[in-house]
Every structure is written in structure tokens, then in C-alpha cells.
Amino acid sequence: MNITIEMYGRLKHVFGHDTLVWKTEAITVKDIYLELCEQHHCVDESNIIRPIIDDTFCQWQSKVTEYNVLGFLPPASGG
């Protein structure tokens, strides 16, 4: 399936992209994230990152479907 992945904050620097068009056979948010980490040689930070699907918070085990926009939010650092 084809999805779009959006990175926020420092994750844009970590993964080297703001937005990625991603083709995957993975089903869950977590599996897709780990796939990204592996391909970009990044450390798994799923314990502190919050995932979103189509601009709504989701669970790591949430299922992703064709054309979803998946996003990864690092810990907040506003203020």
C-alpha cells in the first residue's frame, strides 16, 4: 500500500525528510515506524514518540490503510 509519512520537530532532521511517500506491506503504525528506522539507520524511539493518523492521535498497534497520512511527533518542547 502507499501512504504518506510526515515527520515533525527534530524527527525531520533525524530521518532527513519532512514528508515521505512510502510503499509498504506493513500493517500497523509500529511496524511501519520500525521499517523506517531500519531503512534510515535510526534508533527506535517509540517509547517517547506519539503517532498520528490523518491528524488524529492513534495507537502504535493501530492499522494503517492505503493513502493514510501517518505522522510522528517527538516530545513537546514549547514554552
Q: Which residues form the interface with another protein (CB under 8 A)?
A: 8-10, 13, 50, 52, 55, 57, 71, 73-79
Q: How far is the CB of 54 from another protein (least distance, A)?
A: 10
**Smaller CB separation from another protein, 1 or 8:** 8
For residues 74 and 25, what is the distance between their CA atoms, to the nearest angstrom? 25
3-state helix, strand, coil in the chain (%, to 5): 25, 30, 45
Which of 30/74 has CB closer to another protein? 74
* Shortest CB 5 distance to another protein, Å: 14
Find the shortest distance in angstroms from Cβ 11 to another protein.
Answer: 9
Q: Which three cell numbers stand for residue 51?
A: 503517532
Please tell me the distance from the alpha carbon of residue 21 to that of residue 4, in angstroms, as a whole number.
5
Displacement of CA 36 from its chain's centroid (Å): 8
Q: Which is nearer to another protein, 43 or 76 (CB)?
A: 76
